[in-house]
Amino acid sequence: MRLTKRFGLLAAAAAFTASTAAVAAPTFINILTGGTSGVYYPIGVALSQQYNKIDGAKTSVQATKASVENLNLLQAGRGELAFSLGDSVDDAWNGVEDAGFKAPLKRLRAIAATYPNYIHIVASKESGIKTLEDLKGKRISVGAPKSGTELNARAIFKAAGLTYEDMGRVEFMPYAESVELIKNRQLDATLQSSGLGMAAIRDLAAMVPITFVAVPEDVVTKIGSAAYQSKVIPAGTYDGQDADIPTAAITNILVSHEKVSDDVAYQMTKLIFENLDRLSSAHSAAKDIKLETATEGLPIPLHPGAERYYKEAGVLK
């Protein structure tokens, strides 16, 4: 009897310890962003600060090559939330190999459509570049290979009747490095896909006389994708920019995956919209994040946890 009782007590203690360990297990939320000089990173840091409020959460922010890398990492379960351009999300879901996706990424789930990325094509004034046609024979950077920015560059150049072969030299570099090369007269122009007020371009505009190259509406239409819209970079967004600049814009999407629990996805979504002022303080691009448009134009299914929040908020029925 004593031996049986002792084993019973040991079993109970082991069960209690196991249940306590399960309750105490942390919830890891790794936020996949982009380069530290872009827009994704500061907003990702601001989100991580809010996600620390989730019970048991351990948050981290990872700088990456942005959209394409982020989506592949999510599919592999190496992140819980990621920023991505809408056209990259569409390509990932459909497994477009040329866009960097070897197979359809069917684990992806949407959390929210956020703010638009604007295509910034910026040239040094001394390069003489004023139009897309003027890029022929010039030295240009188009973002990291197969990044969301580089895929945008391909789409825009194709619609404008241009190819990389038309350029004098094409570099595949992120924001900050591209800007430094223009400052040093080693590049003539750079194409960047970003929210308005991007730090790297603000820095360039403050140091070097620059010209913004327009992407006309007819070129945007020729891209033939609903992900691309005609918008303008408003006058005064950057130093020396005295006029609106017509360009293309692509919605950014916050993406998760199906293995993230409904409760965590619900809380991640809720904390975005309860803290828009804090996100806007991190970067002005976040001012364009709106609850009423958060479920519009999503090329992948909503995460059930996010869907629950939108139903509670009255955005979905």
Instruction: Quote the CA–CA distance of 301 and 149 in Å, as a whole number.
Output: 24
Q: Which of 225, 250, 275 is the last residue of a domain?
A: 250
Side chain identity at residue 27, one-letter code: T
Residues 245 and 257 in one domain: no
Identify the pLDDT of residue 24: 55
Residues 128 and 227 in one domain: yes
47 in Cβ contact with 81 (< 8 Å)? yes
Place of tokens 């403050």: 206
Residues 237 and 138 in one domain: yes
Residues 175 and 285 in one domain: no
Q: Which ranges in 121-184 belong to alpha helices (H)?
A: 148-159, 175-183
Is residue 274 a part of any domain in this protein? yes
Residues 109 and 258 in one domain: yes
Side chain identity at residue 133, one-letter code: E
Give the model's confidence band at 147: pLDDT under 50 very low, under 70 low, under 90 confident, else very high.
confident
Identify the pLDDT of residue 3: 45
83 in Cβ contact with 70 (< 8 Å)? yes
Is residue 3 a part of any domain in this protein? no
Is residue 177 a part of any domain in this protein? yes
Residue 51 domain boundaries: 27-114+252-312
Number of domains in the chain: 2
Kindly state the DSSP code that residue 214 receives in the 8-state scheme. Answer: P
Decide if pLDDT at 10 tops 80.
no
Burial class (CB in 10 A: 0-12, 13-18, 19+), 284: middle
Is residue 5 a part of any domain in this protein? no
Residues 105 and 148 in one domain: no
Is residue 79 a part of any domain in this protein? yes
Is residue 91 a part of any domain in this protein? yes
Identify the pLDDT of residue 1: 46
Kindly state the DSSP code that residue 132 receives in the 8-state scheme. Answer: S
| Rounded alpha-carbon distances, angstroms, from residue 151 to 67, 84, 223, 241 | 10, 12, 12, 26
Is residue 188 a part of any domain in this protein? yes
Residues 140 and 181 in one domain: yes
Give the model's confidence band at 82: pLDDT under 50 very low, under 70 low, under 90 confident, else very high.
very high
Residues 224 and 166 in one domain: yes
Identify the pLDDT of residue 312: 98
Question: pLDDT for 212-254, tens place per residue?
Answer: 999 999 999 999 887 899 999 999 999 999 999 999 999 999 9
Question: pLDDT for 253-282, tens place per residue?
Answer: 999 999 999 999 999 999 999 999 999 999
Q: Which of 227, 250, 273 is the last residue of a domain?
A: 250
Residues 133 and 156 in one domain: yes
For the whole model, what pTM was predicted? Answer: 0.82
* CATH code, 172: 3.40.190.10
Average pLDDT score over residue span 95-118: 96
Q: Which of 250, 270, 303 is the last residue of a domain?
A: 250
Identify the pLDDT of residue 19: 45
Average pLDDT score over residue span 16-34: 71
Q: How many CB atoms lie within 10 A of CB 313?
A: 14
Identify the pLDDT of residue 174: 84
Residues 284 and 223 in one domain: no
Decide if pLDDT at 314 tops 70.
yes
Residues 158 and 142 in one domain: yes
Identify the pLDDT of residue 279: 97
Residues 161 and 222 in one domain: yes
Is residue 56 a part of any domain in this protein? yes
Q: How many CB atoms lie within 10 A of CB 161?
A: 11
What's the mean per-residue pLDDT of the chain?
92
Average pLDDT score over residue span 133-158: 93
Q: How many CB atoms lie within 10 A of CB 199?
A: 18
